[in-house]
Structure 1
């Protein structure tokens, strides 16, 4: 136990992380993580007090290592049993009502960190097969997909990406290793954490951060997982529940996640009715308001913009929930580089809002003219 505590302390040093990962990961996983997480057994965690402390120190050590270099992240992803142990411990803890457990926090943080830049760092062959080809390209994907898919499965499922139907072999019900990081089942794990973890903000922040990572970017699979989160896991309400009481650090990952989801949502009208009021509430409307970090403001405005370009309901609700006043305030405030970034985002959104001619009367009633929307 003492040795693990020392390793945890040493892993705080960025200069030591890569070497520690190289020298310790396999033994740590085989001797501690796999047996103490319940992996490979009846999936029931049985730890005495000493073993619980050992597991906690081990996951804290891994948490530090996972924030190191790309090389170390990749070594951790590929370490047999490591990711499985993290997922199994979280799932088993959720089953027995231990979502607040500190080892759960560490484990979720490990998964979040290993999900960072996942699509850029995963094996190219796996990425190519995950991305597949669209059916309307005249090619079938069924025989091409491996990794988180079961190559023996002949049953196909259909998910929609943009307006295209993408067919792929049935996702494996028993993902292994790093496959967990991008398997749709992991979204359910993060969703349960968001719903059941009430006190430990670090756990819910890590869960939303992991979701943000795997739904980020223009990759096809990021879009697929976004739709799984929205349509199968119904994750938007739990996320918005967190937004209501989130501190600024939590808002970074939560609004980043909503930004990704809003890009990929098929029904922008439905999403607008759910999110606009909650997000407008978080925007500053005067100098006396408590300003969230710039990246949170930019995330919120980006969500609104993603919705407005396809949904008149989003534009209407921005007006109804006093969003115009806040957006014009943000647009006019340009006293430093951060506020300049927020201002440009607000300006772009307001320009797009002017496209809805049926709302012009409402805009004028609020005291705004065309020049306010489309001018600098």
Structure 2
């Protein structure tokens, strides 16, 4: 008899084209084999991702997420994650196939940890495309919060044991990475995220846990801090009006009664004047909720702990940046935040550490924060005592290359300090600042004096207004 050759027993060779065609089959093993092949090929090659796009494979993969088999769902999610990674063309194809809704629905219903990891990985990859952020945010924020943030952050521990089984560090990391991208997209998304029940609460709860456990260099902590940084951007102008109204009313309740001066009118008036200089600090609310966390003293302490304990560059920058954002406005709440940071929390000691040891981007953010704080005369003694040497040392000398906007901020800090007290001017001069300021005032660009030079000129004018210092200033500048 005739023996069968090896070629007659060998199954057809798997190719991307064959794998994509097999995605419409009913056999579970065939589907798993095809999706796994696509997953592996797209992990190894950018060309494979292009082939899947041209073969119309993305729509077929999305349909498979609705398959009854948990394993088919798992492998399909992994394939999609690799297919869209660093491929904007494929990300847009997911959008055109209404894929985000399918992915979110599968995430909402699946209880398989690996499937959830892969699906949230797909969403994180999709969220890096600026054109998709608004589309993604429209449907995903609430689902991601309640399906992942709440169970994985630990905020609802003990309330729903079934949901606690869904807690997973990798899934949480993927979702916070996704929300970090979305939170940078604009005011509408920021508003939606601030208003989403338990979103901010979960982020704060998670960070406070890593601070308490000395794990502030955890990658998810960085993501959470960056989301809060973005959500605090332009908070004053975007805040619902009733919050500022409530704060104003509570501040009025704290104000001294002018009628209750008593018999010792002169002494009472002095006490009243002292009370007026002591700006009210933020109220210590035991259980803030939602957006209230963004300006809570608890959150301020949390940011300062991140500055003190974390060595991750982006975590530090996010924490300092959030403090900068919440001190950037002009209303009473902003003022109370500034006084809380400096007077109650002694925050300048941590900012001093950044100016001494931090990376350049974090230092720049810290200077913007100090500029905000320096608008309040009552805080000037603390600023001079804690960080003036570091501020003056950052002023560019002849061989220092510093961005013009940073130099401008440094000059604005010194302008604010110099306007309030001659002692502050003396301190600036004693730190060797005068020569640097004069050098900055002489810099220009092709269009004339730079913004930094203009700020330095204003600073010199403010310094010169202290006539009692003219003799000393002339001696220093000779």
Which bin holds the TM-score, normalised by the shorter protein? Answer: 0.7 to 0.9
CA contact (8 A) 2:435 2:477 kept: no
Out of 175, 187, 190, the position equivalent to 1:70 is 187
Q: Which residue of 1 aligns with 2:277?
A: 163
Q: Which residue of 2 aligns with 1:297?
A: 407
Q: Name the CA distance, whole Å, in 2 between partners of 1:316 and 1:191.
A: 30
Q: Which residue of 2 aligns with 1:119?
A: 236
User: How big is each residue's C-alpha offset from its partner over 1:61-101, in whole Å with a ceiling of 9 and x where there is no partner?
Assistant: 01000001211100000111110010000000011110001
Matched, 1:5 2:117: no
Q: Which residue of 2 aligns with 1:129?
A: 246
Corresponding pairs, count = 344
- Alignment CA distance shift 1:167-1:24 (3 Å): closer
Q: CA deviation at 1:136?
A: 10
CA contact (8 A) 1:131 1:219 kept: no
- Other structure's SS at 1:309 match: helix
- Alignment CA distance shift 1:243-1:101 (3 Å): same
Matched, 1:192 2:305: yes
Q: Name the CA distance, whole Å, in 1 between partners of 2:321 and 2:275.
A: 23
Which protein, 1 or 2, shows the higher relative CO under an 8 Å CA cutoff with sep ≥ 6?
1
Larger fraction in helix: 2
Structure 1 residues not aligned, in runs of 5+: 141-159, 369-376
Q: TM-score, normalised by structure 2?
A: 0.67
Q: Which residue of 2 aligns with 1:37?
A: 153
Q: Name the CA distance, whole Å, in 1 between partners of 2:281 and 2:171.
A: 44
Q: CA deviation at 1:306?
A: 1.0
Residues 78-87 or 1-10, more deviating: 1-10
Q: Which residue of 1 aligns with 2:443?
A: 333
CA contact (8 A) 1:230 1:265 kept: no
Q: Within 5 A, what are the aligned runs for 1:18-33? A: 18-33=134-149
Please say which structure displays the higher CA radius of gyration.
2
Q: CA deviation at 1:357?
A: 2.4
Q: Which residue of 2 aligns with 1:352?
A: 462
Q: Name the CA distance, whole Å, in 1 between partners of 2:377 and 2:292.
A: 24
- Alignment CA distance shift 1:174-1:136 (3 Å): closer
- Alignment CA distance shift 1:362-1:48 (3 Å): farther
- Other structure's SS at 1:39 match: coil
Q: Name the CA distance, whole Å, in 2 between partners of 1:138 and 1:232.
A: 19
Q: Name the CA distance, whole Å, in 2 between partners of 1:294 and 1:131.
A: 37
Q: Which residue of 1 aligns with 2:363?
A: 251
Q: Name the CA distance, whole Å, in 2 between partners of 1:11 and 1:60.
A: 9
Residues 180-189 or 81-90, more deviating: 180-189
Q: Name the CA distance, whole Å, in 1 between partners of 2:289 and 2:234.
A: 20
Q: CA deviation at 1:14?
A: 1.7
Q: TM-score, normalised by structure 1?
A: 0.85
User: How big is each residue's C-alpha offset from its partner over 1:112-145, in whole Å with a ceiling of 9 and x where there is no partner?
Assistant: 00000101111122222224486499999xxxxx
- Other structure's SS at 1:218 match: coil
Q: Give the RMSD, CA atoms, in angstroms.
A: 2.8
CA contact (8 A) 1:272 1:313 kept: no
- Alignment CA distance shift 1:299-1:264 (3 Å): same
CA contact (8 A) 2:374 2:383 kept: yes
- Alignment CA distance shift 1:207-1:270 (3 Å): closer
Q: CA deviation at 1:355?
A: 2.0
Q: CA deviation at 1:300?
A: 1.1
Q: Name the CA distance, whole Å, in 2 between partners of 1:139 and 1:104.
A: 42
- Alignment CA distance shift 1:34-1:205 (3 Å): same
User: How big is each residue's C-alpha offset from its partner over 1:25-82, in whole Å with a ceiling of 9 and x where there is no partner?
Assistant: 1111111101110102279xxx999921111111000100000121110000011111
Out of 198, 205, 208, the position equivalent to 2:320 is 208
- Alignment CA distance shift 1:283-1:84 (3 Å): same
- Other structure's SS at 2:450 match: helix
Q: Name the CA distance, whole Å, in 2 between partners of 1:110 and 1:78.
A: 14
Matched, 1:181 2:294: yes
Q: Within 5 A, what are the aligned runs for 1:102-113? A: 102-113=219-230
CA contact (8 A) 1:161 1:224 kept: no
- Other structure's SS at 1:206 match: helix
Q: Name the CA distance, whole Å, in 2 between partners of 1:49 and 1:242.
A: 38
Matched, 1:342 2:456: no
CA contact (8 A) 1:215 1:260 kept: yes
